[in-house]
């Protein structure tokens, strides 16, 4: 049931060994120790046996055997005369080598029987079995030298065929139990989540129409686990517009969803659907442990534990600089699915002891060069002076730091070319925006010639260290190694760290590229059986699947493949692939829904299969990688055709009628300019008018909404009105046209100002029949006459004074609501 599958994309080896080897534990031995051991192995007896017979045995001795033969590790049981296989015997390294060879997979160290046994909980000398497994993998890798770059073979193993299981599915129409949920949504969410809201926010699950609401709410409810419903999380965890108490609101909604879920029976996958066989993640072929270059790693953090408060240094280089997590899990930090730690609050950090941190100073001091390598997901691009990886004593004293400032990575390294704080920092260029709130591989190297260099996603950023190289002799060995914050807790960084390695060599560009290509996390090849549909022997649709983070899986690189090297597809039509999870089709993330291709001999290669798509997609995690079951559904495959599921059309809903608001408004800036021009007859191109309008244009009303009219608008209106009036009165021709028959040199306005107020009223309020929508002409005239009268009382109303008074009266009329309101 096996066949070899060579891939030029995946330089990974994953051999599942159906080993018959039984690794018997020490009788009555302790299961695990309580506390991590940070010191080196307790030395076994001084070796006085035969010298290593070959170079490989010498390598075995240095990289592996010396690490495991101590009495606090495997040597306690698997010694000469002890438990078989006695690969940790101290009397004969050649005999130990023979025994070790039976439990080590040289092609895929992580899949060695020895590693899998310890990973399964067998006498790990640390509190976390996965940490011991990683360390053993590292030692074996160092021994067999499996850090080359050549392609490797993936050995695909046919999974056990099984049909998709069942899960609860939403009925097409809203069940009766949806009514209470609908009531809550319409009561509390309808200000935004309805199509006719002034601030409409899709999805419209608060629609008055229960069916419209139900269809929009389906993606936000989880029948199998109501607590994981997006509604519940949005209220409870994300405090999104709670109507009273977020926890209580979330509970109320969760209870309503639970009540609905309780009345829905799990549905079987319809027999009419064209479905592949089903798989869980563990049925896939492991493809992790890619060809990383770690030959000079002195500290390595993979965060595989997923629990507890210690992140183990699995470099295998003693003393292990294990990191102790500060703060409370969930609230301050959390383990991330697919391996990683998320730092959430300023309280969170992961710090090693100063004692174990000394190895950085010692081992890097010995080489004078080093690299910081990390896979990170910055939580945002707004944080500044945040520490991602640091070996420091305070905010002003450090040996090295990788930090974030907005879109930039910062590198501080103390050397003879920089100060005791590692300053000046080397930062990536602002314009490049190298740092993104996305999974990124970042490496900072230091060597005595080039100084600091920053690489993001395998590429040198091109930022040159103006401080140049130097030596590292001044490093302080009393500092502590820390992630996610400064040791003094006042430079927090929000984000996810998925991998960190410190190398005591400056990685080369090629090595950095190699590590970038190797990726991070665990990847599986998933073989979804379709032989029962198309009849091609041992035929599968294969996906590369990994847990992307705590919330989702990454499905990528789908291929058609047969494990029978002689099989060929012929000419088989394939349309529309849906990824199913737990017996149902998730509505979100179906990237292959519109796929249309043909499985054909011409596109198929027995070695590499037939690529179906080059894009990947994220599918939401439901119950976790241990229990989520996946399958594929096809709209058309071979001779069978049946659309997996269609999404319903949404019916257009008219907005709900509301009372009419005010329908009067104010003239806006250009309208005012044109209005004043048309009333006065003064051209808007008159220089003074033009200048005034240009100055106050943006101070005039921009919208006719009368509620938005401010006193500052009125001030600008008055300015413009006065300028128009000044231009009008100062221009004899315009003046004569506007105030016909009025001689400004001889007229006396005292006592009777009708000569000017009557034309003003006629032009602004309107002449002839009184418009009912305008103020009464007599009332306006009375006000204007009063104004003129007052101005005349204070200064007389003949000669030059007439001009001023006329301008003022004109300004009052032109800038009044009779003109500005429409």
Residues 216-275 close enough to bind other proteins by CB under 8 A: 216, 219, 230, 233
Q: How far apart are CA 667 and CA 124, in angstroms?
A: 81
- CA–chain centroid gap for 795, Å, is 73
Q: Give buried/exposed letters for 302-313 (b at 16+ CB in 10 A, else e).
A: bbbbeeeebbbb
Contact stretch for other proteins (CB under 8 A) within 81-89, 241-249, 529-537, 544-552: 544-552
End-to-end CA, the chain = 85
Contact stretch for other proteins (CB under 8 A) within 311-319, 409-417, 444-452, 545-553: 545-553
If binding is defined by CB under 8 A, does position 789 make contact with other proteins?
no
Q: Please, what is the minimum distance in Å from the beta carbon of residue 584 to other proteins?
A: 14
**Which residues 169-188 are close enough to bind other proteins by CB under 8 A?**
none
Helices marked H in 545-623: none
Number of residues that bind other proteins (CB under 8 A): 136
If binding is defined by CB under 8 A, does position 569 make contact with other proteins?
no
**Which residues 579-618 are close enough to bind other proteins by CB under 8 A?**
587-595, 613-618
If binding is defined by CB under 8 A, does position 775 make contact with other proteins?
yes
Measured from the CB atom, is 285 or 557 closer to other proteins?
Answer: 557
Q: How far apart are CA 522 and CA 339, in angstroms?
A: 8
Residues 418-437, one symbol each (x = binds other proteins by CB under 8 A, - = not), give ------------------xx
If binding is defined by CB under 8 A, does position 719 make contact with other proteins?
yes
Backbone angles phi, psi at 451, to 5 degrees: 70, -135
If binding is defined by CB under 8 A, does position 720 make contact with other proteins?
no
- Asked if 572 contacts 598 with a C-beta cutoff of 8 angstroms, the reply is yes
Could you write out the DSSP letters of every residue in 606-632? TTTBEE--S--EEEE--S-TTT-EEEE
Q: How far apart are CA 779 and CA 787, in angstroms?
A: 12
Q: How far apart are CA 507 and CA 515, in angstroms?
A: 10
- Both tokens of residue 11? 């330089």
Q: Single out the residue of 8, 46, 244, 685 in contact with other proteins (rule: CB under 8 A).
A: 685
Q: Please, what is the minimum distance in Å from the beta carbon of residue 89 to other proteins?
A: 46
Residues 643-682, one symbol each (x = binds other proteins by CB under 8 A, - = not), give ---xxxxxxxxxx-xxxxxxxxx-xxxxx--xx--xx---
Omega into 761 within 30° of 0, i.e. cis?
no
Measured from the CB atom, is 357 or 727 closer to other proteins?
Answer: 727
Measured from the CB atom, is 435 or 472 closer to other proteins?
Answer: 435
If binding is defined by CB under 8 A, does position 722 make contact with other proteins?
yes
Q: Is 796 helix (H, G, I), strand (E, B) or coil?
A: coil
Q: Single out the residue of 717, 747, 755, 777 in contact with other proteins (rule: CB under 8 A).
A: 717
**Which residues 475-534 are close enough to bind other proteins by CB under 8 A?**
494-496
If binding is defined by CB under 8 A, does position 714 make contact with other proteins?
yes
Q: Single out the residue of 556, 561, 579, 682 in contact with other proteins (rule: CB under 8 A).
A: 556
Q: Which helix H or strand E contains 819, and what residues bound it?
A: helix 817-820
Measured from the CB atom, is 533 or 591 closer to other proteins?
Answer: 591
Q: How far apart are CA 410 and CA 466, in angstroms?
A: 14
Q: Please, what is the minimum distance in Å from the beta carbon of residue 449 to other proteins?
A: 28
**Which residues 361-420 are close enough to bind other proteins by CB under 8 A?**
377-380
**Which residues 627-646 are close enough to bind other proteins by CB under 8 A?**
646
The label of the residue with tokens 């010995």 reads: 366
If binding is defined by CB under 8 A, does position 340 make contact with other proteins?
yes
**Which residues 41-70 are close enough to bind other proteins by CB under 8 A?**
none
Q: How far apart are CA 754 and CA 737, in angstroms?
A: 16
Measured from the CB atom, is 103 or 722 closer to other proteins?
Answer: 722
Q: How far apart are CA 324 and CA 352, in angstroms?
A: 6
- Asked if 526 contacts 366 with a C-beta cutoff of 8 angstroms, the reply is no
Measured from the CB atom, is 129 or 760 closer to other proteins?
Answer: 760
Q: How far apart are CA 145 and CA 69, in angstroms?
A: 20
């Amino acid at each position: 049931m096996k066949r070899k599958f060579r891939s030029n994309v995946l330089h990974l080896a994953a051999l599942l060994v159906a080993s018959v080897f039984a690794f018997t534990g020490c009788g009555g031995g302790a299961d695990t120790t309580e506390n991590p051991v940070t010191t080196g192995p307790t030395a076994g007896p001084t070796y006085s046996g035969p010298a290593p017979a070959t170079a490989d045995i010498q390598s075995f001795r240095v990289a592996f055997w010396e690490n495991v033969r101590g009495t606090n590790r495997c040597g306690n049981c698997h010694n000469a005369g002890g438990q078989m296989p006695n690969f940790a015997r101290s009397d004969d390294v050649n005999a130990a080598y023979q025994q070790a060879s039976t439990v080590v997979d040289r092609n895929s160290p992580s899949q060695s029987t020895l590693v899998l046994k310890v990973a399964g909980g067998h006498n790990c000398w640390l509190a976390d079995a996965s940490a011991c497994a990683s360390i053993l993998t590292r030692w074996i890798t160092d021994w067999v030298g499996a850090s080359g770059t050549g392609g490797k073979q993936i050995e695909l193993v046919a999974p056990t065929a099984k049909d998709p299981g069942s899960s609860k599915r939403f009925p097409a129409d809203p069940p009766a139990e949806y009514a209470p949920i609908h009531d809550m949504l319409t009561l509390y969410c309808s200000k935004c989540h309805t199509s006719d809201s002034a601030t409409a926010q899709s999805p419209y699950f608060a629609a008055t129409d229960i069916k419209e609401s139900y269809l929009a709410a389906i993606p936000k409810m989880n029948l199998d686990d109501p607590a994981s419903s997006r509604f519940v999380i949005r209220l409870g965890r994300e405090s999104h517009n709670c109507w009273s108490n977020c926890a209580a609101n979330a509970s109320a909604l969760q209870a309503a969803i639970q009540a609905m879920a309780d009345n829905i029976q799990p549905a079987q996958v319809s027999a009419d659907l064209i479905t592949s066989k089903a798989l869980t993640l563990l049925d896939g072929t492991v493809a992790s442990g890619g060809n990383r270059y770690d030959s000079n790693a002195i500290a390595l953090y993979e965060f595989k534990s997923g629990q507890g408060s210690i992140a183990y240094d699995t470099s295998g280089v003693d003393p292990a600089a294990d990191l102790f997590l500060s703060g409370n899990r969930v609230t301050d930090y959390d383990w991330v699915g697919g391996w990683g730690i998320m730092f959430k609050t300023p309280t969170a950090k992961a710090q090693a002891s100063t004692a174990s941190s000394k190895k950085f100073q010692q081992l890097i001091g010995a080489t004078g060069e080093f690299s910081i390598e990390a896979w990170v997901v910055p939580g945002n691009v707004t944080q500044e002076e945040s520490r991602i990886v640091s070996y420091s004593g305070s905010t002003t004293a450090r040996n090295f730091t990788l930090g974030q400032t907005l879109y930039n990575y910062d590198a501080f390294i103390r050397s003879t070319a920089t100060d005791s704080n590692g300053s000046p920092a080397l930062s990536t260029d602002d314009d490049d925006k190298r740092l993104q709130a996305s999974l990124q591989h970042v490496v900072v190297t230091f060597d005595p010639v080039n100084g600091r260099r920053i690489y993001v996603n395998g590429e040198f950023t091109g930022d040159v260290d103006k401080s140049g190289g130097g030596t590292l002799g001044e490093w302080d060995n009393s500092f502590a190694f820390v992630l996610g914050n400064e040791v003094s807790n006042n430079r927090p960084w929000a984000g996810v760290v998925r991998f960190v390695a410190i190398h005591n060599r400056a990685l080369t560009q090629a090595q950095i590229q190699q590590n970038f290509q190797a990726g991070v996390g665990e990847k599986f090849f998933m073989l979804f059986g379709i032989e029962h549909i198309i009849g091609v022997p041992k035929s599968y649709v294969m996906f590369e699947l990994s847990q992307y983070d705590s919330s989702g899986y990454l499905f990528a690189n789908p291929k058609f493949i047969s494990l029978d090297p002689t099989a060929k597809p012929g000419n088989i039509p394939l349309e529309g692939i849906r990824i199913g999870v737990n017996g149902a089709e998730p509505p979100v993330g179906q990237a292959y829904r519109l796929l249309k291709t043909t499985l054909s001999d011409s596109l198929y290669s027995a070695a590499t299969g037939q690529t179906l798509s080059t894009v990947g997609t994220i599918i939401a995690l439901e119950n976790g990688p241990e229990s989520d079951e996946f399958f594929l559904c096809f709209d058309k495959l071979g001779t069978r055709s049946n659309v997996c599921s269609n999404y319903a059309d949404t019916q257009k809903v008219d907005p709900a009628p509301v009372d009419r608001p005010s329908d009067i408004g104010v003239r806006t800036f250009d309208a005012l300019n044109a209005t004043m021009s048309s009333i006065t007859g003064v051209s808007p191109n008159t220089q003074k008018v033009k200048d005034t309008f240009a100055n106050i244009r943006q101070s005039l009303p921009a919208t006719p909404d009368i509620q938005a009219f401010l006193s500052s608008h009125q001030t600008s209106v008055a300015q413009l009105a006065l300028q128009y009036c000044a231009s009008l009165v100062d221009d004899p021709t315009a003046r004569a046209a506007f105030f016909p028959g009025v001689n400004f040199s001889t007229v006396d306005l005292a006592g009777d100002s009708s000569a000017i107020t009557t034309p003003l009223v006629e032009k602004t309020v309107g002449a002839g029949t009184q418009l009912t929508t305008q103020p009464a002409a007599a009332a306006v005239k009375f006000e204007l006459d009063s104004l003129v009268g007052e101005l005349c009382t204070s200064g007389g109303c003949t000669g030059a004074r007439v001009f001023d008074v006329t301008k003022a009266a004109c300004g009052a009329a032109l800038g009044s609501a009779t003109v500005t309101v429409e």
